[in-house]
Amino acid sequence: MKRGVMSDRDDNKALVRRYFDEFFNRQDTTRAAEVCATEYTEHALAPFGDTEPGRVNGPEHLENTVRWLTAQFPDVRMDVEALVAEDDTVVARVHSYGTNLGPLNGVMPPSGRCFAARQTHWFRVAGGKLAEHWATREDLPVMLQLGVITPPGRTAA
């Protein structure tokens, strides 16, 4: 690699960092088409979901995801703690936090409570854009923090 020239891995890591910073933290999806491929495969389930979205329009899916998440957590933050890239794959460890001020999953009344949790997000990059996504989230701890689920042996708050 020549000095001053970014590798594909560095470009891919920068793309994933931009995904979280620009779209979720700044809630600006105006450039979603620059980051997500139109032909995009989403493997991540929504909390309590039972099917993967599968093949979707990437920019449209990103805009809908940001709108869905920020309707529930207007102050949501997704801080990238680490990025690892190999070939066309980038993995991000993310620390997410926010306050539930909107209907949870669009159906449960807002709790007004805060959550903090870690997630891992896996992306496949193709043609300089995100083309595929998988996620592993701490949904159970989040639901406990929000008071949606009561731990066994305890009464609801």
Average pLDDT for residues 103-128, to the nearest whole number?
95
For the domain made up of 8-93+121-137, give the CATH fold.
Nuclear Transport Factor 2; Chain: A, (3.10.450)
| Residues ≥6 apart with Cβ < 8 Å to 139 | 47
- pLDDT of residue 15 exceeding 80: yes
In the structure, what pLDDT confidence band is assigned to residue 43 with cuts at 50, 70 and 90?
very high
Instruction: Encode burial over 63-85: b for 16+ CB neighbours within 10 A, e otherwise.
Output: bebbeebbebbeebebebeebeb
What are the tens digits of pLDDT across the range 56-86? 999 999 999 999 999 999 999 999 999 999 9
- pLDDT of residue 155 exceeding 80: no
Cβ neighbour number for residue 125 with a 10 Å cutoff? 22
Whether the CB-CB separation of 129 and 41 falls below 8 Å is answered with no
pTM of the complete model beyond 0.75: yes
Give dist(CA 141, CA 17) in Å, integer.
25
Give dist(CA 125, CA 13) in Å, integer.
10
- pLDDT of residue 90 exceeding 80: yes
Highest mean pLDDT of the ranges 6-15, 43-52, 82-91: 82-91
* Least-confidence region, from 67-76, 119-128, 144-153: 144-153
